[in-house]
Amino acid sequence: MTRAVVANLNTDMFLPLIPLTGVFAYGYDESDLADDLDAVVRANRLSVLPDPEPQENRFVRSDQYSFVRQGIPALALKVGYRTGTPEEKVWQGWVREHYHKRSDDVTPPIP
């Protein structure tokens, strides 16, 4: 029996550093999965939040992009925050102080 990959959801770095109130969905505007994601976040009283740093082009720089290049719908999902909030400060602080450094730990504190 041949198996086919029908979709890819990249959850790399889905870190629980801040309360889960929304998600960033890199590739949302380019994916056939947007309607499905909308239904899931709505059912869970969450939001799909806009990419706070679109200039970083994270969708094409992330692991799921290999699937997209093969015609497989894909999204990269991250815990989201709104710009200018305390949650953004926590996230940016973690990136600045820990991301890809010795203190980048697999057991971060969970709020």
Beta-carbon count within 10 A of 17 CB:
18
Summary count for the chain: helices (H), strands (E):
4, 4
pLDDT digits (tens, 9 = 90+) for 19-71: 999 999 999 998 899 999 999 999 999 999 999 999 999 899 988 899 999 99
Please tell me the pTM assigned to this model: 0.83
| Measured CA distances, 32 to 27, 51, 57, 75 (Å) | 10, 18, 19, 10
Token pair of 75, please? 């999204």
Per-residue pLDDT tens digits for 86-99: 999 999 998 898 88
Domain boundaries, the chain: 14-97
